[in-house]
Amino acid sequence: MKTIVSCYPKPLEVVRPYAPERGPRLHEYKIEAAPPDGYKTLDVGDAWELVYRQERGWVWELIPEDEVASDLVGHWNSGRVGQVSGFGPGIFVKDPDRFDEQLEAARQSQEDWFNFLYEQGEDADKLGQRSNITDEMREAARWLGKKPKWLEPARQELTKECPFCGSEIPRRATVCKVCLRDIDTGATPKKAK
């Protein structure tokens, strides 16, 4: 059995084309969100994958636990900015002889990654490009304990609440599309005769 460790503050999920038992062709692997200064684990063992072999047709093949664990960690780390920069989310396969060292390195890597994302958010804000600020950048700011003015999603900057009916309307609207009142005066349109 191999243990995957996550310091990441959000749950991680992935469906893979192999399963711990023969039968199901897909299996969902999950790790819960890690608490601040903590971690969560997922134990994985060997898995079975149904593959087509020219000479034998469809057969079940065993995937060793090392490959399963590496595949899952690789998936959760793939497509991250950190791969290029040398840092990323704190996810790794546990080596019992080096666990404390691995955990410290994962936390540092994650902190570096979140600082990178936070700086990206700051740069986008300074350039007036709040629509380029991602939820991941906001999560990084929260994890780092920072409260920038861009912490709330850009959607709130594009809309406002009608003062009369409470509906969400475009920020530039002068008339509510729901209650049809003029936002400034509260007047309603006159009925046509």
Contact 36, 118 (CB under 8 A): no
For the stretch 20-78, pLDDT in tens is 988 878 899 999 999 988 999 999 999 999 999 999 999 999 999 999 999 999 888 87
Res. 85 pLDDT band, cuts 50 70 90: low
pLDDT for residue 191: 63
H/E element, 101: helix 99-126
- What residue segments make up the domains of the chain, in order of their start? 2-109, 155-193
Does the reported pTM lie above 0.75?
no
Q: What is the pLDDT of residues 103-123, one digit of tens each?
A: 999 999 889 989 999 999 999
The pLDDT, as a whole number, for residue 170 is: 86
Helices (H) and strands (E) in the chain, counts: 5, 9
- Confidence label for 81 from pLDDT (cuts 50, 70 and 90): very low
Using alpha carbons, list the distances in angstroms from residue 130 to 115, 136, 152: 18, 13, 10
